[in-house]
Amino acid sequence: MDTDDKMNGTEIGHSDRDPCNKSRPEGETSSDIEKPLDCDDIVSHLEKSPNPALDSVQDLTLDMELEISEPDVIPDTSIESTSRLIGSPSLDDSEIKTPPVQPDTIFVPPPSQAAQGGLPSAGSSYSHQASGRYKIDLHLQFPNGSVNKNYDTTKYLVIRPRTSGSPTVAYKVICDGIHGLDSLGLSAEVVEEKIRIRGIPVLAGDHKLIVHYSLFNREQCLGRSLKEVILTVNPDPRSLWKDIEPQEGLPFRKPHTSSEKIEGDLVIVGASRRGRSHAHEGKFREDDFRIGYDHASGWSFMVVADGAGSALLSRHGSQLACEAAAAALVPYFTSLLGTSFDEHAAAFANSSQSESPQVGNTLYKVLGNSGHAAFKRLEQEAKALGCPLKALATTLNITLCHRYRFGWFVAVFAIGDGGVGLFRKGDSTIILSQPDSGEFAGQTRFLTMSEIWSSGKGILDRIKYTVVPDMTALIAMTDGISDPFFTTDKNFFDSAQWELFWDELCKSASVDRDNAHLESELLDWLDFWSKGNHDDRTIAIMLP
Amino acid sequence: MIGSLRRDPQALDSVYVSIITFDREVKILVPLTALEDFQIPELIPPMSGPTHLGLALEELCKQVDREVVKTTPQVKGDWKPMLFIMTDGSPSDRQKYNHAIPEVKRRNFAVIVGCAAGSNAKQEDLLPLSDHVVSLDTMDSSSFSGFFKWVSDTVSAGSSSMGATSTQVMPPAPPEVHVVV
Please give the ipTM for the structure prediction. Answer: 0.81
Say which of A206, A240, A309 has its CB closest to residue B161: A309
Any CB–CB contact under 8 A between B166 and chain A?
A: yes
Compare all CA atoms of chain B with the CA of A488 and give the residue at the minimum distance: B76
Residues whose CB is less than 8 angstroms from the CB of residue A426 and which lie 6 or more positions away in sequence, other chains included: none
**pLDDT by residue (tens digit) across A273-285?**
999 999 998 999 9
Any CB–CB contact under 8 A between B78 and chain A?
A: yes
DSSP B113-158: EEEEESTT--HHHHTTT-SEEEEESS-SHHHHHHHHHHHHHHHHHH
Q: Is the pLDDT of residue A2 over 60?
A: no
- Per-residue pLDDT, A89: 36
Compare all CA atoms of chain B with the CA of A306 and give the residue at the minimum distance: B163
- Tell me the average pLDDT of chain A: 80
Q: In chain B, what residues touch A206 (CB-CB under 8 Å)?
A: 3
Q: What is the mean pLDDT of residues A513-531?
A: 95
Any CB–CB contact under 8 A between B65 and chain A?
A: no
Say which of A237, A310, A390 has its CB closest to residue B13: A237
Q: In chain B, what residues touch A389 (CB-CB under 8 Å)?
A: none
- Per-residue pLDDT, B72: 87
Question: Which residues on neighbouring strands pair with residue A171, listed in sequence order?
Answer: A217
**Which residue type occupies A432?**
L
Under the banding of pLDDT at 50, 70 and 90, the label for residue A111 is low
Q: Are A210 and A224 in contact (CB under 8 A)?
A: no
The residue among A172, A180, A170 whose CA lies nearest residue A201 is A180
- Which H helix or E strand runs over A448? none
- Which H helix or E strand runs over A428? none
- Per-residue pLDDT, A110: 64
Instruction: Output phi, psi for A403, to 5 deg.
Output: -95, 125
Percent of chain B scoring above 90 in pLDDT: 34
Q: How far is B117 from chain A (nearest CA, A)?
A: 28
- 3-state SS class at A158: strand
A393 and B165 within 8 Å at the Cβ level: the answer is yes
Say which of B9, B73, B108 has its CB closest to residue A489: B73
Q: What is the mean pLDDT of residues A388-412?
A: 95
- Per-residue pLDDT, A442: 78
Q: Are A259 and A288 in contact (CB under 8 A)?
A: no
Q: How far is A446 from chain B (nearest CA, A)?
A: 9
- Per-residue pLDDT, B142: 76
Q: Could you give the strand order of the β-sheet that contains A194-199, starting from the edge strand earlier in sequence? A: A151-156, A194-199, A186-191
Under the banding of pLDDT at 50, 70 and 90, the label for residue A109 is low
Say which of A144, A240, A309 has its CB closest to residue B162: A309
- Per-residue pLDDT, A13: 34
Instruction: Output phi, psi for A492, to 5 deg.
Output: -65, -25
Strands A473-477 and A537-543: antiparallel
- Which H helix or E strand runs over A323? helix A314-329
Q: Is the pLDDT of residue A264 over 50?
A: yes
Under the banding of pLDDT at 50, 70 and 90, the label for residue A222 is confident
In the A/B pair of chains, how many CB contacts fall below 8 A?
106
Q: What is the mean pLDDT of residues B79-86?
A: 89
Instruction: Output phi, psi for A193, to 5 deg.
Output: -85, 0
Q: Is the pLDDT of residue B121 over 90?
A: no
Percent of chain B scoring above 70 in pLDDT: 91
Percent of chain A scoring above 70 in pLDDT: 75
Q: Which of A136-150, A161-175, A467-481 has the highest mean pLDDT?
A: A467-481
**pLDDT by residue (tens digit) across B144-173?**
777 877 887 777 666 554 444 445 667 777
Q: Would you say the C-alpha torsion A91, A92, A93, A95 has a positive or negative sign?
A: negative
Q: Are B110 and B158 in contact (CB under 8 A)?
A: yes
Instruction: Output phi, psi for A294, to 5 deg.
Output: -105, 105
- Per-residue pLDDT, B55: 95
A308 and B10 within 8 Å at the Cβ level: the answer is no
Q: What angle do CA A341, A428, A288 make, to 5 degrees?
A: 65
Compare all CA atoms of chain B with the CA of A529 and give the residue at the minimum distance: B13
Q: In chain B, what residues touch A445 (CB-CB under 8 Å)?
A: 164
Q: Are A189 and A196 in contact (CB under 8 A)?
A: yes
Any CB–CB contact under 8 A between A234 and chain B?
A: yes
Q: What is the mean pLDDT of residues A308-328?
A: 94
Query: Distances from the Cα of B45 to the Cαs of A226, A543, B86, in angstroms?
Result: 26, 65, 14
Q: Is the pLDDT of residue A415 over 50?
A: yes
Q: Is the pLDDT of residue A187 over 80?
A: yes
Q: Are A173 and A193 in contact (CB under 8 A)?
A: yes
Q: What angle do CA A57, A63, A67 make, to 5 degrees?
A: 70
Q: Are A303 and A325 in contact (CB under 8 A)?
A: yes
Residues whose CB is less than 8 angstroms from the CB of residue A494 and which lie 6 or more positions away in sequence, other chains included: A486
Q: What is the mean pLDDT of residues A454-466?
A: 93
Q: What is the mean pLDDT of residues A351-361?
A: 91
Please give the Cα distance from A157 to A174 (Å, whole number): 7
Mutation for B interface: A206, A312, A314, A440, most B CBs within 10 A: A440
Q: Is the pLDDT of residue A122 over 80?
A: no
**Which residue type occupies B42?**
E
Q: Any idea of the CA torsion for A374, A375, A378, A382, to the nearest 10 degrees? A: -170
Say which of B3, B36, B79 has its CB closest to residue A441: B79
Under the banding of pLDDT at 50, 70 and 90, the label for residue B140 is confident
Say which of B76, B108, B166 has its CB closest to residue A487: B76
- Per-residue pLDDT, B46: 65
Q: What is the mean pLDDT of residues A126-151?
A: 79
Question: Which residues on neighbouring strands pair with residue A199, listed in sequence order?
Answer: A151, A186
Please give the Cα distance from A317 to A392 (Å, whole number): 4
Q: Is the pLDDT of residue A265 over 50?
A: yes
Instruction: Output phi, psi for A162, to 5 deg.
Output: -80, 150
How many CB atoms are closer than 10 A to CB B120? 12
Q: What is the mean pLDDT of residues B7-35?
A: 90
B164 and A446 within 8 Å at the Cβ level: the answer is yes
Strand runs labelled E in A355-494: 396-404, 407-415, 419-423, 430-431, 463-468, 473-477
Q: In chain B, what residues touch A437 (CB-CB under 8 Å)?
A: 71, 77
- Per-residue pLDDT, A170: 59
Q: In chain A, what residues touch B42 (CB-CB under 8 Å)?
A: none
Under the banding of pLDDT at 50, 70 and 90, the label for residue B98 is very high
A235 and B7 within 8 Å at the Cβ level: the answer is yes
Please give the Cα distance from A259 to A239 (Å, whole number): 27
**Which residue type occupies B15?**
V
Q: In chain B, what residues touch A276 (CB-CB under 8 Å)?
A: 9
Q: What is the mean pLDDT of residues A238-243?
A: 93
Under the banding of pLDDT at 50, 70 and 90, the label for residue B100 is very high
A280 and B9 within 8 Å at the Cβ level: the answer is yes
Say which of B78, B166, B169 has its CB closest to residue A441: B78
Q: Are A397 and A420 in contact (CB under 8 A)?
A: yes
Query: Distances from the Cα of A527 to the Cαs of A272, A273, B159, in angstroms?
Result: 10, 8, 20
Say which of B7, B10, B70 has its CB closest to residue A439: B70
Query: Distances from the Cα of B113 to the Cαs of A442, B59, B82, B138, in angstroms?
Result: 21, 18, 8, 18
Please give the Cα distance from A56 to A64 (Å, whole number): 16
- Per-residue pLDDT, A48: 38
- Tell me the average pLDDT of chain B: 84
Instruction: Output phi, psi for B102, to 5 deg.
Output: -65, -30
Residues whose CB is less than 8 angstroms from the CB of residue B46 and which lie 6 or more positions away in sequence, other chains included: B21, B22, B23, B24
Please give the Cα distance from B73 to B70 (Å, whole number): 10
- Per-residue pLDDT, A350: 92
